[in-house]
């Protein structure tokens, strides 16, 4: 099989040929049809992600495909089941073996590309907004980077939860994507975010994937008793949080990382995905994939993320969707 592999040395990843892996007792073997790219993949390339595996390893954090074999301790799955797997690594390959408890069956209405674009971003936004921030109907949600993978799902889920959504993104094209996902108000990157948000009544919940100066502006535009979610730092600037301002405004800053939650609260993650898949089947969620590229163009896909040229998700597809 082919795989996009990080070698033992510090050199760049390569598309290499490897032996097809066989499942262990608690694992499933999957013929991979699609793999979603994430900003964390870029961090892994530089070994700056908090969960970067030891080299050598194959990149790719979330996949979809068909089960072709499984270990003797696996139950609840059958050969031929269509599944999505939040694998953390090993997804940018034609085949993979993964712990069965990381997999979930996907509905017939969902394409493999949609399934590969679903788990991490939708799961992050749903758990962050529902379980962590307790977003309520009628509250105002501010989303930064609202046309990216995580931000766009936060816009969509925020609307499904009954919030008024303010979306911040760069440029008319990206703002149009956020508008199509349900945003009520739009803020361009060149606008003064604090001024605009305050003119709209302030934010009750902030979902920030950018960090830096945007976080500082959003922080100052948050209402008394508001909740802030620092989801990521795409700007490269991790801001400091003034504890005295938390005290004066009764603010709550909530850290959330879905990879850690998968280990500490697996049932919450599973329950969230069940809910999200139900919403998908009901037509309430529409995954946005701006680019679908073949395996040999993984580097181009990474470049789209690096330059922030994509909207929603970038998905890598594997050759010939066959389980042979």
Same fold, 2-118+287-317 and 121-259: no
Q: Residues 125-146: pLDDT tens digits?
A: 999 999 999 999 999 999 999 9
In the structure, what pLDDT confidence band is assigned to residue 322 with cuts at 50, 70 and 90? Answer: low
Q: What distance in Å separates the CA atoms of residue 150 and residue 166, rounded to the nearest whole number?
A: 15
In the structure, what pLDDT confidence band is assigned to residue 324 with cuts at 50, 70 and 90? Answer: low
Q: To the nearest 10°, report the CA torsion of 221, 209, 274, 78.
A: 180
Residue 133 burial class via C-beta count within 10 angstroms: exposed 0-12, middle 13-18, buried 19 and up:
buried
Nearest to 10 by CA among 56, 43, 53: 56
Question: Mean pLDDT across the stretch 65-89?
Answer: 97
- The model carries a pTM of 0.94
Q: Give the single-character DSSP code of 118.
A: T
Q: For the domain 121-259, what is the CATH superfamily, name and number?
A: NAD(P)-binding Rossmann-like Domain (3.40.50.720)
Q: Residues 223-279: pLDDT tens digits?
A: 999 999 999 999 889 988 999 999 999 999 999 999 999 889 999 999 999 999 999
Nearest to 149 by CA among 178, 176, 110: 178
Q: Which two structure tokens, joined as six digits, stand for 13?
A: 């990843």
Evaluate whether the domain defined by 2-118+287-317 bears CATH number 3.90.180.10: yes
Residue 245 CB coordination number (10 Å): 12
Q: Residues 190-224: pLDDT tens digits?
A: 999 999 999 999 999 999 999 999 999 999 999 99
Ranges of each domain in the chain: 2-118+287-317, 121-259
Supply the pLDDT for residue 9: 73
**214 phi/psi in degrees, rounded to 5:** -65, -40
Supply the pLDDT for residue 321: 61
In the structure, what pLDDT confidence band is assigned to residue 167 with cuts at 50, 70 and 90? Answer: very high
Supply the pLDDT for residue 132: 97
Beta strands in 124-234 (DSSP E): 140-143, 164-169, 185-188, 203-208, 222-230
In the structure, what pLDDT confidence band is assigned to residue 320 with cuts at 50, 70 and 90? Answer: low
In the structure, what pLDDT confidence band is assigned to residue 11 with cuts at 50, 70 and 90? Answer: confident
- Is pLDDT of 122 > 90? yes
Structural element, H or E, at residue 39: helix 39-45
């Amino acid at each position: 099989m082919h795989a996009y592999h990080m070698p033992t040395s510090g050199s760049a990843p390569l598309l290499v040929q490897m032996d097809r892996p066989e499942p262990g007792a608690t694992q499933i073997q999957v013929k991979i049809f699609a793999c979603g790219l994430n900003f964390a993949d870029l961090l892994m390339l530089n070994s700056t992600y908090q969960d970067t595996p030891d080299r050598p390893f194959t990149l790719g954090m979330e996949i979809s495909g068909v089960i072709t074999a499984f270990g003797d301790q696996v139950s609840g799955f059958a050969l031929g089941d269509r599944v999505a797997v939040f694998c953390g690594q090993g997804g940018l390959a034609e085949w993979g073996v993964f712990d069965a408890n990381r997999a979930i069956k996907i509905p017939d209405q969902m394409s493999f590309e949609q399934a590969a674009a679903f788990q991490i971003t939708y799961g992050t936004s749903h758990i962050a907004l529902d379980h962590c921030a307790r977003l309520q109907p009628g509250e105002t949600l501010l989303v930064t980077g609202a046309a990216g993978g995580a931000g766009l799902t936060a816009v969509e889920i925020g609307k499904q939860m009954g919030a008024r959504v303010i979306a911040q993104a760069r440029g008319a094209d990206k703002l149009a994507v956020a508008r199509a996902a349900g945003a009520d108000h739009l803020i361009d990157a060149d606008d003064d975010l604090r001024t605009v948000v305050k003119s709209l009544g302030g934010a009750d919940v902030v979902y920030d994937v950018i960090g830096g100066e945007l976080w500082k502006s959003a922080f100052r535009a948050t209402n008394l008793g508001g909740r802030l979610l620092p989801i990521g730092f795409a700007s490269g600037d991790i801001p400091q949080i003034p504890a005295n301002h938390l005290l004066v405004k009764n603010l709550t800053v909530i850290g959330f990382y879905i990879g850690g939650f998968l280990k500490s609260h697996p049932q919450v993650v599973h329950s969230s995905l069940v809910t999200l898949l139900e919403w998908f089947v009901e037509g309430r969620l529409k995954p946005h994939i701006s680019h679908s590229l073949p395996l040999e163009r993984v580097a181009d896909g990474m470049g789209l993320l690096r330059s922030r040229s994509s909207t929603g998700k970038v998905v890598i597809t594997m050759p010939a969707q066959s389980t042979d």
